[in-house]
Amino acid sequence: MSEFLDAVNGYVWSDALVYLCLAAGVYFSIRSRFVQVRQVREMVRLMLKGEKSPSGVSSFQALTMSLAGRVGTGNIAGVATAIAFGGPGALFWMWAVAFLGASTSFVECTLGQIYKTRDPLTGEYRGGPAYYLSRALAHTRAARVFKVYGLIFAAVTVLACGLLLPSVQSNSMASAMESAWGFDKWWVAVGTVIVLAFVIIGGVKRIAAFASIVVPFMAVVYILLALIVVLLNAGRIPTVLEMIFASAFGLDSAFGAIIGAAVMWGVKRGIYSNEAGQGTGPHAAAAAEVSHPAKQGLVQAFAVYVDTLFICSATGFLILSTGAYRVFEGESATGAVLADGGRLPDDVEVGPAFAQIGFDTLWNGAGSTFIAVSLAFFCFTTIIAYYYMAETNLRFLLGRASTTPVPLIRGTVGSNATMVLQALILVSVVLGAVSTATEAWVLGDIGVGLMAWLNIVGILILQQPAYRALWDYEEQKRAGLDPVFDPHALDIVGATFWENYDPLAGKKRESVRT
């Protein structure tokens, strides 16, 4: 089974996917006139300001929900893995995919807002790739093809977010707690399941409220402490930067032979961490209450920067400046050691231990505890975000049948299917916590890769409405208006929620603008 999963992962994460992610980011950047650079100030302004209603959450809450899915073990263990198998240059390629991916995130998240809908069971906003894949071309001859495409994406996302991806997070969390405090992994699994059940049963509003408190706090604490460690090793920063850039382009004598690995692991772990193009961000974006879809697209583009340029960079500089790393040949821990920073004991496994030892240079013995606490919060909020995305796609798969009563059983098809999904993700958390790290990461990579393939191809086809929304937003801003979205005025078809909703009045409209 292990060999089979490795083979599947090799096909999914072939060079083709890596170059597709980079090429799509370049293309979206050019088409949007580098929106990720031009609109940074507007991103920050919108992040701190936003409306919310009984049906939707604020822009900030949607951002934190998105960050809850992005900020997890990939920001700590993922960075360590990228450096170990791709060399210091992998960090540069993580930056590259984040910069380019911000434009990808803008496109997919704006589409998520444009084609969102109301959940017939809860009244909450729902959206994501499955929704825009099935709605954007519903008026064309390709309608049936894209309806099926949306169903396929929804099914893959339920599998990935409900079963494959949570296991990676629970595994890292359990391993860190076992290393720091000697906790048995089974006890970690049971405790996580109890708290997780309480949060996810509360629905999207409770998920958003939880994420809006936990994610910003832990992210700021983590970055600040990592920055302190890096500043204490400030004399090594020029050397670290030289290593990163030389290794990224094969100019370093020690890492020149693994330039391909640097690109592969940088892009692979970058996408795993910031999720740009994977199709997860649009789910949180669609849940927001905004007057114009481009607003949330800009906020979600900034989330990519927060995840990779801030948090992943903090981990990378922490590891490299303290020498708490080891680089292997052959993209495997069994390969020859190309470089060793000098602080790692021989028996240290690739993963969170790199960051733990790096933090120990600040306060000896505290690194394990701090990383365990950080991973506990980061991984837990990520699992919650995964559940929300799996539930959203389950609702899409069920369609109108979700409100159908179930004979002899209380509730509807939707409510009963939701309980099954909740049980599935709880089981995934338990199994992931007690499995090996290798098994968990392979399953997670397969889930991420499958979603990325389907979503990036989809948004390359459906991208035009996102640009129309962006130009419309910028035009209204230049006119001194608070932008309001009207799909009729932009010839955007299939945005049924916006066709029947006036964000200024909260009621059905004829047309907001002429």
- Tell me the average pLDDT across 178-192: 89
Token digits for 185? Answer: 């992994």
What letter would DSSP give residue 254?
Answer: T
Q: What is the DSSP string of 153-216?
A: HHHHHHHIIIIIHHHHHHHHHHHHHHHHH---HHHHHHHHHHHHHHHHTTHHHHHHHHHHHHHH
**What whole-number distance in Å separates Cα of residue 173 and Cα of residue 18?**
28
- Tell me the average pLDDT across 486-512: 76
CATH class of 1-453: mainly alpha
Tens digits of per-residue pLDDT, 271-281? 888 888 899 99
> What share of the chain has pLDDT > 70, as a percent?
91
Confidence of residue 408 (pLDDT cuts 50, 70, 90): low
Instruction: Please report, for the chain, the start and end positions of each structural domain, with discontinuous segments joined by +.
Output: 1-453
> What is the per-residue pLDDT for 100?
96
Residue 337's H or E segment, with its range, is strand 337-340
Please measure the distance between the N-terminal and C-terminal CA atoms of the chain and give it in whole angstroms.
60
> What is the per-residue pLDDT for 124?
80
Helical spans, DSSP H, in 32-136: 35-38, 40-48, 59-70, 77-86, 89-114, 129-135
Residue 125's H or E segment, with its range, is strand 125-126
Confidence of residue 187 (pLDDT cuts 50, 70, 90): very high
> What is the per-residue pLDDT for 502?
66
Question: What SS3 state is found at 51?
Answer: strand
Token digits for 2? Answer: 């292990």
> What is the per-residue pLDDT for 3?
82
Locus of tokens 């905004």 = 290
Q: Judge whether residue 503 has pLDDT over 80.
A: no
**What whole-number distance in Å separates Cα of residue 429 and Cα of residue 427?**
5
Token digits for 271? Answer: 């996408």
**What whole-number distance in Å separates Cα of residue 153 and Cα of residue 130?**
6
Q: Judge whether residue 29 has pLDDT over 90.
A: yes
> What is the per-residue pLDDT for 203?
60
> What is the per-residue pLDDT for 486?
94
Tens digits of per-residue pLDDT, 123-145? 788 899 999 999 999 989 999 99
**What whole-number distance in Å separates Cα of residue 447 and Cα of residue 164?**
6
Confidence of residue 512 (pLDDT cuts 50, 70, 90): very low
Q: Which residues of 452-472 are buried (b: 16+ CB within 10 A; e: fewer)?
A: bbbbbebbbebbebbbbbbeb
Give the lowest-confidence range in 67-81, 96-110, 244-258: 244-258
Token digits for 447? Answer: 């889930």
- Tell me the average pLDDT across 316-325: 94
Q: Judge whether residue 506 has pLDDT over 60.
A: no
Helical spans, DSSP H, in 281-335: 281-286, 293-304, 313-322
Nearest CA among 465, 457, 463, 447 for reference residue 69? 447
Rounded alpha-carbon distances, angstroms, from residue 22 to 95, 122, 290, 292: 11, 38, 30, 28
Name, in order, each residue with C-beta under 8 angstroms of 388's C-beta and a sequence gap of 6 or more: 65, 200, 204, 207, 283, 284
